[in-house]
Structure 1
Amino acid sequence: MNYFLEPLIPDKNQNIQISPEEYKAYLEAKTQLIETILFEEKMQYLLSNYRDYEECLLKAALTDLMGEKKTYHEFQRERGEINRMVVNFLASARAYLDHGGHHLKKILKADAVPDFFPSTKASHYDSSFSYRMMEALRNYTQHRGFPVHMVSFKRSWVGESELEKNLEFTIAPKIRVEELIADKKFKRSVASELEDKGERLALTQMLRDYVERLSHIHGVTQKETQESSQQALNMVSSALDRVKHKFGPDAVNPGIAIICRSDGGRSHNEASSSLIPEFAERYRLLTDANKPIKNLSKRYVSGKAEK
């Protein structure tokens, strides 16, 4: 067998012969880099779904601020839209946590899921009611019912003096605690914790804390995989550079192929995998976008105007 690097759109017989060891190393590096990108994309989906939830609440509060009257059915449609956002978010969180081990094994070329991933998840589960509640609520939404049972709109005057006061509009999706406790399929250990939480449980603060903790888990993962991912990126870049230096920068514009061929000429009897320059940028953009979010549970967006 013969092994080559060549432009995806070669001019004549442009190729560089490589050793079997280099061929294997390039393929492994591509796999590591793609798995890193896929794992980062799952965190992006999670964060995007969380953002959709927060934007949905702001839009509903703004509608209330504008004094738009709603029928019973419009209120229920609004509750349904919030439920949709929560279900989407919980599903993406489930995908991130469940698929993470699979990606990490390939990124680190390990036979088993590295210990830091399950141990970090377990640490947050043990230390946070919000984390335990969101995990249990995720299972509930998959098998039993919607997570948001009611939506509370609140208007309150804020400010120390009459001249400084502003009318604040807020919205709070809530869970009826008795419904979860009564459902025998709801995780019993979490149900027992709900007994002293009152009749209604506000969702947003718990969800923010959960996102913050998932972001921390991802930060630990980025740190643990950085060396392997960077080595893979360097290997992919070196293959592109070899072709660029020999045939010019235009030769790598659409990408290059790593080829295993049964003879020196082109034939149907070959295996080919492509590398493209955009892999590096995609990797950097995603890892930068997914840096840990600190103190999310203590943040909120306000429309308060400066005076």
Structure 2
Amino acid sequence: MKTETITYSLSTFEKPDLWMVREFSEEEFRKYSNYITSLMRLESNENLYKIVDLNYFDFKAKISKTVKSLDNGVNSNEFENLYLDINRHILNILSSIRTYLDHTETRIKREYGSNSEEFLNFKTQTSKAYDENFSYRFLYKLRNYAQHCGLPAGSLSTTASQTGNSLKLCLVKNELLLNYDSWGVIIKQELNNKEDLFDIIPLIDQKFEILKEINKNINNLTYKHYQQEAQELMNLLWESKSKNGTPCIVETVGANEKLKLNIRWFPYKPISKITGVQFEII
């Protein structure tokens, strides 16, 4: 029985052509393929934070668009729809934040252990954020409130001034306290000290900035574990710049019309983040 020919290479692809840069051993191909898989998994983990980022961006865009539309006037029906739509964005933010935090804690503990620097750093940062920031701990509990009690009672209000229009989404303190018993002693006391109506929008802004810093610190520690993978893949990218097309590593099985290709593409984003080197994606 005739054995199929198998070759491994660093190549570039520009439809319909595939150019070889140099051949690999099977061991090299498997190593680089595993590196690519590892960095793609890292990028997938980071997508949970990107969802938080996108939800926050949509929320701020909605606020900005609403403020601009106030120049033309808004009737009561439009105001009710705006209130519901802004609340929808808020619920999306709170839910995605909770998902990000829960999954990140589980992932770090599973990958590095409960006594690792990475896990202790995560727990220290999130505990500190909860202890030191009303916005962080209140919105953490508000997500639970929304899950069990529905939308919190509130009102949408606008203000016009010489510097422009502004918008507030105010929650009703007494409704929050009466409808939910699990705020905890500290938050319950803080709510009692709040005005009867208080704006949730600046609290969301504050929590987002805190979470962005937490995510940045998590990544700084995580990236240390992927230095070798990112550096070696980056070296291959530099090597492939001598050819036109998009760099890839290729397993080629057979020949001519029976040719089969297993192509692995380079994960540019994590390579760039870890090495600090920006590549032009072709």
Classify the TM-score, shorter chain: 0.7 to 0.9
Aligned to 1:90: 94
Find 2:178's aligned residue among 182, 198, 205.
182
- CA drift at 1:168: 3.1
1:234 to 222, 225, 231: 231
Q: What whole-Å deviation, never above 9, does each CA across 1:229-260 have from its counterpart, x for those lacking one?
A: 33221233356667x49xx735x72632479x
1:51-66 pair list within 5 angstroms: 51-64=57-70, 66=71
Query: Does the CA-based 8 Å contact 1:37-1:286 persist in structure 2?
Result: no
Gapped regions of structure 2 (runs ≥ 5): 1-5, 256-260, 277-282
The root-mean-square deviation of aligned C-alpha atoms, in Å, is 3.5
Aligned equivalent of 1:18: 26
How far does residue 144 in structure 1 lie from its aligned partner after superposition? 2.1
- Distance in 1 between residues matched to 2:59 and 2:153, nearest whole Å: 12
What is the TM-score with the length of structure 2 in the denominator?
0.75
Q: Give unpaired runs (5+ residues) of structure 1.
A: 157-165, 267-271, 289-307
**SS of the residue aligned with 1:207?**
helix
* Deviation readout 1:266-298 (Å, 9 max, x if unpaired): 9xxxxx985313x1246537999xxxxxxxxxx
Q: Percent identity?
A: 22
- Aligned residue number for residue 152 of structure 1: 157
2:51 corresponds in structure 1 to 45
Instruction: Provide, for residues 37-61 of structure 1, a one-character-per-residue CA deviation record: whole Å limited to 9, x for no partner.
Output: 2233332221221122122122222
Number of positions where the alignment pairs a residue of Structure 1 with one of Structure 2: 257
Shift of 1:194: 0.8
More helix by share: 2
Distance 1:55 1:132 in 2: 25
Find the counterpart in structure 1 of residue 243 from structure 2. 249
Give the counterpart letter for 1:181 in structure 2. L
Shift of the 32–148 alpha-carbon distance from structure 1 to 2, 3 Å rule, reads: farther
2:280 equivalent in structure 1: none
Match of 1:159 in 2: none
Distance 1:191 1:230, change over 3 A: same
TM-superposition CA deviations, 1:184-219 (whole Å, max 9, x none): 354333233211112112111111110111011012
Structure 1 pair 111–231 and aligned structure 2 pair: CA distance change class (3 A):
same
* Residue 104 (structure 1) shift: 4.0
TM-score, structure 1 normalization: 0.70
